[in-house]
């Protein structure tokens, strides 16, 4: 029996599929309310002969030592009538960390967030949203993307039910499935929805014996910024003795060599953002 060819390049997830690891053994179920008598099984369009790799277990089919030749679309038949079908897929191993080609962001006070998948190898990607506090979660409302990017990736728009004005106590959990038939990649990403991006240091302006630091919010922060306020913290290094100090004011001493900043939501006191890179100060 040759390698399966019927679904290469599939750009959507099959209705029924089973995912296994290489060399695993799996039993495929012939699902039908009309099940009576003997059945035959087919892989793609070829009828399966019972041998060491394929064995009948009642009306079900046991597939041993799963490898590339045994992947594809299986169907069980009663005479000329197909009773059910399912795709046997192989779990892919990620060559890179998920964060290197998949990231999400959200406006701070909004019920939607966005995700982008930038690995063009895969022809279909979908996301399942849950909360990290839910144990034993086995099914999701899957969200697929019809918005394919010029680089072959996908962009997703998802909604959530978290209150934008309450402190986040649990992380969101995204289950990611990506397919390049007959391989499927499954990964999980956990994050707080209001993880704040880095602010930007715009300029330092002399005001008497002090410096006034102008800081722009992260690009993902909600507008107007005068209403959705952020709390800032500035860390600076003194020129004279190299001492590092912190300030919650935008006015800091003039005699510094470099500074960096971070921010957080002043309403719900979220976790601090990451520090910006150190910025040298010349004046």
Rounded Cα–Cα distance for residues 238 and 100 (Å): 36
**Secondary structure of 86-151 in the HEC alphabet?**
EEEEEECCCCCCHHHCEEEEECCCCCEEEEEECCCCCCEEEEEEEECCCCCCCCCCEEECCEECCC
Among 199, 183, 114, 185, which residue's Cα sits nearest to residue 149? Answer: 114
Q: What is the pLDDT of residue 165?
A: 47
| Each residue's pLDDT tens digit, 119-169 | 888 999 999 886 543 444 455 678 888 677 888 889 998 876 655 544 555
* Residues facing 114 on adjacent strands: 105, 157
Q: What is the pLDDT of residue 135?
A: 43
- Taking the model in full, what pTM does it have? 0.64
| Each residue's pLDDT tens digit, 9-19 | 578 899 999 99
Least confident of 112-121, 167-176, 213-222: 167-176
Contact partners, residue 261, CB within 8 Å, separation at least 6:
199, 201, 213, 215, 232, 233, 234, 235, 275, 276
Domains of the chain (ranges, CATH numbers): 17-91 (2.60.40.10), 98-191 (2.60.40.10), 200-280 (2.60.40.10)
- In this prediction, residues 27-42 reach a mean pLDDT of 82
């Amino acid at each position: 029996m040759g390698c399966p060819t019927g679904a290469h390049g599939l750009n959507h997830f099959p209705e029924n599929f089973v995912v296994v690891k290489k060399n695993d053994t799996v039993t495929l179920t012939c699902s039908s309310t009309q099940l009576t008598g003997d059945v035959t099984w087919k892989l793609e369009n070829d009828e399966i002969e019972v041998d060491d790799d394929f064995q009948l277990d009642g009306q079900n089919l046991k597939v041993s030592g799963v490898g590339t030749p045994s992947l594809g679309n299986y169907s069980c038949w009663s005479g000329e009538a197909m009773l059910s079908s399912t795709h046997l897929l192989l779990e892919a191993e990620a060559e890179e960390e998920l964060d290197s080609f998949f990231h999400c962001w959200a406006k701070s006070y909004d019920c939607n967030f966005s995700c982008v998948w930038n690995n063009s190898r895969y022809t279909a990607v979908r996301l399942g949203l849950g909360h990290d506090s839910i144990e034993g979660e086995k099914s999701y409302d899957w969200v697929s993307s019809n918005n394919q990017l010029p680089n072959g990736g996908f962009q997703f728009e998802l909604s959530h039910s978290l209150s934008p004005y309450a402190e986040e106590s649990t992380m969101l959990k995204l289950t990611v499935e990506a397919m390049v038939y007959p391989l499927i990649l499954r990964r999980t990403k956990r994050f707080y929805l209001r993880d704040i991006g880095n602010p930007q240091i715009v300029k330092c302006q002399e005001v008497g014996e002090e410096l006034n630091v102008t800081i722009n919010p992260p690009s993902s922060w909600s507008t107007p910024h005068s209403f959705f306020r952020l709390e800032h913290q500035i860390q600076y290094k003194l020129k004279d003795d190299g001492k590092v100090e912190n300030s919650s004011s935008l006015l800091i001493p003039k005699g510094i060599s470099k500074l960096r900043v971070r921010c957080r939501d002043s309403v719900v006191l979220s976790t601090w953002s990451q520090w910006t890179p150190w910025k040298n100060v010349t004046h």
